[in-house]
């Protein structure tokens, strides 16, 4: 009796241990920001320097619906702002693949498509109640692709990506996928890149073309920390120095289509598989700004010179780097 109880205690103990370990690799939500991966803070603002690139915030999501051999893969987006001259601002986005330590990025084969123009719909965010109006906090808003993209569109794109890549012999898979995406109207996706704009502007990258990132700074925006990072692609959108433009561009949603294909004879994937992940920088309200009141910084930014000053400073500081 005693013996059995001891054994079951041991079992329980080991279960707890495994559970504890598993917890560490889980994200609290499907899309998380700097708080979850513990970026350093600059005053109350998030700041994350990855390699040589400094971002005002990041968004991290696991790639959903991957085959079990690819479980734990993440996509990360970072954004910064630079001066564009004549009241213009450049909104620079960089995208990274996070790979669990036991998975070698060189063993992956397939393509990543970043849809650079944001979808028409937005994620729901925390709502700040105000005297005259209630405002959604764009910065903290988060969600998953099905919240903002028609399921039909997601299904169509992933299915097409799967079938096109499966039908192509290894060499020019991503070029073939790109041609296919440019050639078709994808009626189900007419609002993917903005209302009535179809797929919008997109960038196709091969997994064979990622560059691994050296872990040399105080920010490693992935969880667990033992995961590796590789740069997928970068994109710049030009906006202006108004608050509206900042919120529209810096915190925009970027859908990312991935397709993984078999590679050689001991491949990680048996057959092509494809997923859609939605990325967005997630930053929590600056506590300094949140302190007073009912109005969110979104509305204050344009009217309150102090807060507007901070935003411009962020941009200016990075230009100066």
Ligand X SMILES: *[C@@H]1O[C@H](CO)[C@@H](O)[C@H](O)[C@H]1NC(C)=O
CB of 245 to ligand X, least distance (A): 4
| 255 is a contact residue toward ligand X (CB under 6 A) | no
| 176 is a contact residue toward ligand X (CB under 6 A) | no
- Least Cα distance to 73 among 40, 38, 27 occurs for 27
**β-pair type (228-240, 88-99):** antiparallel
User: CB–CB of 115/256 below 8 Å?
Assistant: yes
Phi, psi at residue 99, to the nearest 5°? Answer: -120, 135
| 271 is a contact residue toward ligand X (CB under 6 A) | yes
- DSSP per-residue letters across 129-162: --SS--EE-TTT----HHHHS-HHHHHHHHHHHH
Judged by CB under 6 A, the residue of 71, 104, 152, 234 near ligand X is: 234
Judged by CB under 6 A, the residue of 123, 220, 251, 260 near ligand X is: 220
- Among the candidate windows 38-46, 141-149, 240-248, 274-282, which touches ligand X by CB under 6 A? 240-248
Nearer to ligand X, 41 or 271 (CB): 271
CA atoms within 13 A of residue 304's CA, in its CB half-sphere = 14
CB of 10 to ligand X, least distance (A): 30
| 262 is a contact residue toward ligand X (CB under 6 A) | no
Q: Which of residues 108-167 bind ligand X (CB under 6 A)?
A: 129, 133-134, 162-163, 166
Between CA 257 and CA 306 the distance in angstroms is: 40
| 92 is a contact residue toward ligand X (CB under 6 A) | yes
Between CA 239 and CA 250 the distance in angstroms is: 10
Judged by CB under 6 A, the residue of 122, 248, 267, 299 near ligand X is: 248
Considering CB under 6 A, how many residues would be counted as binding ligand X?
A: 38
| 274 is a contact residue toward ligand X (CB under 6 A) | no
- Among the candidate windows 67-75, 190-198, 239-247, 274-282, which touches ligand X by CB under 6 A? 239-247
Taking the CA atoms of the chain, what radius of gyration do you get in angstroms? Answer: 21
Nearer to ligand X, 28 or 292 (CB): 292
Between CA 255 and CA 242 the distance in angstroms is: 25
CB of 211 to ligand X, least distance (A): 10
| 80 is a contact residue toward ligand X (CB under 6 A) | yes
In the chain, what's the furthest Cα-to-Cα distance?
A: 81
Between CA 148 and CA 30 the distance in angstroms is: 14
User: CB–CB of 93/78 below 8 Å?
Assistant: yes
User: CB–CB of 78/94 below 8 Å?
Assistant: yes
Binding site for ligand X (CB under 6 A): 52-54, 80, 92-94, 129, 133-134, 162-163, 166, 174, 201, 206, 208-209, 215, 220, 225-226, 228, 234, 239-240, 242, 244-245, 248, 264-265, 271-272, 291-292, 318, 321
């Amino acid at each position: 009796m005693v013996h059995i109880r001891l054994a079951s205690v041991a079992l329980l103990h080991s279960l707890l241990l495994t559970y504890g370990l598993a917890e560490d690799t889980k994200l609290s939500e499907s899309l998380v920001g700097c708080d979850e991966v513990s970026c350093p803070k600059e005053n109350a603002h998030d700041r994350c320097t990855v390699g040589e690139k400094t971002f005002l915030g990041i968004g991290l999501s696991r790639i959903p619906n991957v085959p079990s051999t690819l479980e734990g893969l993440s996509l990360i987006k970072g954004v910064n702002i630079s001066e564009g001259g004549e009241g213009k601002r450049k909104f620079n986005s960089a995208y990274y693949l996070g790979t669990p330590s036991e998975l070698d990025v060189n063993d992956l084969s397939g393509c990543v498509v970043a849809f650079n123009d944001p979808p028409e719909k937005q994620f729901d965010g925390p709502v700040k109640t105000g005297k005259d109006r209630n405002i959604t906090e764009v910065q903290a808003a988060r969600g998953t692709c099905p919240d903002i993209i028609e399921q039909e569109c997601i299904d169509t794109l992933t299915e097409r990506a799967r079938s096109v890549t499966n039908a192509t012999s290894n060499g020019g898979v991503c070029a073939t996928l790109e041609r296919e995406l440019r050639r078709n109207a994808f009626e189900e996706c007419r609002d993917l890149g903005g209302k009535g704009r179809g797929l919008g502007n997109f960038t196709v990258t091969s997994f064979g073309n990622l560059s691994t990132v050296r872990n040399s700074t105080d920010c490693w925006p992935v969880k667990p920390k033992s995961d590796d990072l590789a740069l997928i692609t970068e994109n710049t959108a030009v906006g202006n120095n108004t608050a509206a433009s900042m919120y529209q561009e810096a915190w925009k949603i970027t859908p990312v289509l991935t397709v993984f294909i078999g590679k050689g004879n001991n491949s990680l994937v048996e057959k092509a598989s494809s997923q859609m992940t939605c990325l967005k920088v997630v930053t929590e309200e600056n506590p300094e700004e949140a302190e007073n009141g009912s109005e969110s910084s979104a509305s204050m930014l344009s009217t309150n010179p102090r807060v507007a000053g901070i935003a411009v400073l962020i941009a200016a500081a990075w230009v100066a780097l």
